[in-house]
Amino acid sequence: MKTLKYFLFSFFLIAFTAFAQEDRPKERELGHTNNNKFKQLYDEFSTPNMFRSASGAPGPAYYQQKADYRMDIELDDENARIYGFETITYTNNSPDVLEYLWVQLDQNKRAKDSKSPLIESDGVSTMNRAAGFVDKFMGKTFDGGFKIQEVKDTNGNPLPHVINMTMMRVDIPKPLASGSTFSFSIKWWYNINDHVNQGGRSGYEYFPKDDNRAYVIAQFFPRMAVYSDVEGWQNSQFWGRDEFALPFGDYKVNITVPADHILDGTGKLINRKDVFSKEMMKRYEKAKKSYDEPVLIVTQEEAEFAEKSKSTGKKTWKLEAENVRDFGFATSRKFIWDMMAVKIGGIDVMAVSLYPKEGNPLWEDWSTKAVASTLRSYSRMTFDYPYHKAISVHARSQGMEYPMICWNYGRPDENGYYSDRTKFGMMSVIIHEVGHNFFPMIINSDERQWTWMDEGLNTFVQYIAEQDFGEWYPDALSPGQDKYPSRRGPASKIIPYMSGDQDFIAPIMTKGLNTYQFGSNAYSKPATGLNMLRETIMGRELFDYAFKTYSQRWMFKHPTPEDFFRTMEDASAVDLDWFWRGWFYTTDYTDIGIKAVNKYFVSSEPNKQIKEMLSRRGMKLSDLPPYVYLVEEGSEDFTEDLRDKDVMESNPTLKEYLMDNFTPEERANMKTPKYFYKVTFDKPGGLVMPIIAEYEFADGTKERITYPAQIWRFNDKEVSKAIASTSELVKITVDPDLETADIDTSNNSWPKEIKQSKFDQFKNQLKN
Ligand SMILES: [Zn+2]
């Protein structure tokens, strides 16, 4: 008998389960295709190897090449030309034998025969810059390409070489074996471009009022390309947009400029006594001990005096840098120069600014402080800044970075007036470009291939550094502001981009040259993604540790995207493949809403369907083990007397079960809900994201629950959650703090918030 009853019961249970399932969305009908969204990234990632470990760290056989430079440079200020002679010593640390070397000739982008303009679709514009108009329609007059005068080995023998646009292959006399070194020299010159009128990341600005130029000089010498385990030779052409891939090395650079110029650049100035006046020396000593305010090394008065004449003499500034991936410098007789010290990890670093008088009063007030503040913030997020100085140079319309030095825009008008836009633009660009010392100057990713790896990571830390700056220098804010007005970072700021026309959006994992909306794609979206990981998905503690681990693992090395993705998971135990896949590999957007809310009350009896089934099988309710029944409000089984009852009084079976199985103390600590809800969330957006739901109850209490993104793993369209409460649910809000870049918030609340349409508003206005 017992056996038969058991059999019947099991049979019943199967039937019952079938009934219960009817209540759930049919997963196959609802687009059960989302397995891909949680599929691990094995197909997209290359297989870990001895060079790069599966953990995301450099592998046991990791190597990188070294390129050391000795250079003698001379600036011809009168003709805006630069001459150079360089000796490159290249060390092959790879296990491969190299048959040739590739050298980058970036200035050839400005050569008369440059193909860069030919890959742009442009047509005819009704408004043209004079310089651009002449170039385009009147025959190009300016030739800014490299004039390579000689390429020789150390014995003075010419080396065969082939120039393909911005890349030069140097054919070496015999293949370069693993572990060996080859030295060769290149003699060159080129015409320096006017960066204000002709564009470019370096060049000069001409000031007609005093007939002077301010030079910001970079990509100015033939530079070794990167050879690595992932690309072989990275000799992808420089078309003008994707930046640079460069090996580390040591530099000894002598730069000869007019004697009245003030110059600073990458590296330590090793002949300070030759180029500084006694007065400058005294001020410099003072600056090294000034931690709060910058000290002027060259005053505005002195710079204005220097502008008035031109020295015929020359001075050579000698700079030496170790373990840098590039070299840049700025020089002009117009420069005002100030410095202050900032303690980083117990060591003094100099924060430095160079600016013509045209930058004041903004620059003397804020540039050097922004540099110092940036070094502190970035060091906290990554590692202690390892170089001895960081320089911010004012150059019109520029925002460009090199090791220890960068160029930044932000200029008041002729009366010294500036808007908030100019002020915060200037501060933000300084924070950003100084931040580039970390990404990619030290964490040396391949900018030519992956713009987001330096711009995105840098823009992410920039946001944190801006907020620090606003906190540490509240005087920099404008009246009424309580924090720094960051343009990028918070999730809500990426919505206009992500909800835009899909025909003009590319995944982040696209080479920069080929992406639409470059700034949003390579700067804002990755930065926002990292901010979301930090604030919403991983939490600050796990994120910051993992981010620091990545930074320290790849400090002075060449990371790839996978090294970043892998390290973030390896150091946090958070599986983020779904996030990388959605945010970095697709153009999907977030849109999560509330589809329906069903309300239930506890009943002592099952619904009609179950009752009928029991009677068909000749069974009574008492044949079943203890069940608690829930009846949906508004259904045919619902009666008003079920409302508002305590769960214990409305279900004797449950009461009995509790009495039999729990002590009075345990029972006293239990919740006794009256209201039961099924909340159904739907997801019109393609991205999977955590559901952040805020439940608000009639008694005024609120509860916020974050359902991890994995809730979407079996159903990409909709999911449901049960909520039980002692007080009636009155409101639900999805993503109340706008943390997930949800592009449509009209479906984010229940009951639906009725927003007055523009037309209704207009009608009401007419009535009033
Ligand atoms: Zn940048």
What pLDDT score was predicted for residue 35?
62
The CA distance from 55 to 48, in Å, is 9
If one counts every other C-beta atom within 10 angstroms of the C-beta of residue 306, the result is 21
> Does residue 651 surpass a pLDDT of 90?
no
> Does residue 20 surpass a pLDDT of 80?
no
Distance of CA 29 to the CA centre of its chain: 38
Calculate how far, in angstroms, residue 470's C-alpha sits from the geometric centre of ligand 1.
Answer: 20
The CA distance from 146 to 158, in Å, is 18
Mean pLDDT of 463-485: 97
Mean pLDDT of 21-33: 46
Calculate how far, in angstroms, residue 459's C-alpha sits from the geometric centre of ligand 1.
Answer: 7
DSSP string, 370-412: HHHHHHHHHHHHS----SSEEEEEE-TT-EEEETTEEEE----
DSSP string, 545-582: HHHHHHHHHTTTB---HHHHHHHHHHTT----HHHIII
What pLDDT score was predicted for residue 3?
45
Closest CA to 620 of 606, 633, 630: 606
User: For residue 115, what pLDDT band results from cuts at 50, 70 and 90?
Assistant: confident
> Does residue 30 surpass a pLDDT of 50?
no
Mean pLDDT of 239-264: 96
What pLDDT score was predicted for residue 757?
58
Instruction: Round the average pLDDT of the chain to a whole number and report it.
Output: 92
Calculate how far, in angstroms, residue 2's C-alpha sits from the geometric centre of ligand 1.
Answer: 76
What pLDDT score was predicted for residue 323?
98
Calculate how far, in angstroms, residue 588's C-alpha sits from the geometric centre of ligand 1.
Answer: 25
Encoded tokens for 503 = 């025909």
Calculate how far, in angstroms, residue 487's C-alpha sits from the geometric centre of ligand 1.
Answer: 14
* 346-360 pLDDT tens trace: 999 999 999 999 999
Mean pLDDT of 52-67: 98
Calculate how far, in angstroms, residue 669's C-alpha sits from the geometric centre of ligand 1.
Answer: 56
Calculate how far, in angstroms, residue 338's C-alpha sits from the geometric centre of ligand 1.
Answer: 24
* 482-541 pLDDT tens trace: 999 999 999 999 999 999 999 999 999 998 888 888 889 999 999 999 999 999 999 999
Mean pLDDT of 555-568: 98
Mean pLDDT of 734-741: 97
Calculate how far, in angstroms, residue 540's C-alpha sits from the geometric centre of ligand 1.
Answer: 24
What pLDDT score was predicted for residue 458?
98
Report whether 627 contacts 705 (CB < 8 A): no
User: For residue 112, what pLDDT band results from cuts at 50, 70 and 90?
Assistant: confident
Calculate how far, in angstroms, residue 340's C-alpha sits from the geometric centre of ligand 1.
Answer: 24
Calculate how far, in angstroms, residue 444's C-alpha sits from the geometric centre of ligand 1.
Answer: 13
Element (H, E) at 526: helix 525-532
What pLDDT score was predicted for residue 18?
44
> Does residue 606 surpass a pLDDT of 90?
no
| Per-residue three-class SS string for 431-500 | HHHHHCHHHHHHECCCCCCCHHHHHHHHHHHHHHHHHHHHHHCHHHCCCCCCCCCCCCCCHHHHHHHHCC
* 186-207 pLDDT tens trace: 999 999 999 999 889 999 999 9
Calculate how far, in angstroms, residue 400's C-alpha sits from the geometric centre of ligand 1.
Answer: 7
Calculate how far, in angstroms, residue 548's C-alpha sits from the geometric centre of ligand 1.
Answer: 20
Beta pairing, strands 212-217 & 81-91: unpaired
What pLDDT score was predicted for residue 341?
98
Encoded tokens for 260 = 């009245």
Encoded tokens for 5 = 């009853």
- Calculate what percentage of the chain has a pLDDT beyond 70: 93
The CA distance from 391 to 355, in Å, is 11
The CA distance from 664 to 452, in Å, is 60
Calculate how far, in angstroms, residue 544's C-alpha sits from the geometric centre of ligand 1.
Answer: 21
Task: Please give the residue that has the higher pLDDT: either 471 or 1.
Answer: 471
| Range in 142-151, 323-332, 651-660 with the lowest mean pLDDT | 651-660
Calculate how far, in angstroms, residue 523's C-alpha sits from the geometric centre of ligand 1.
Answer: 8
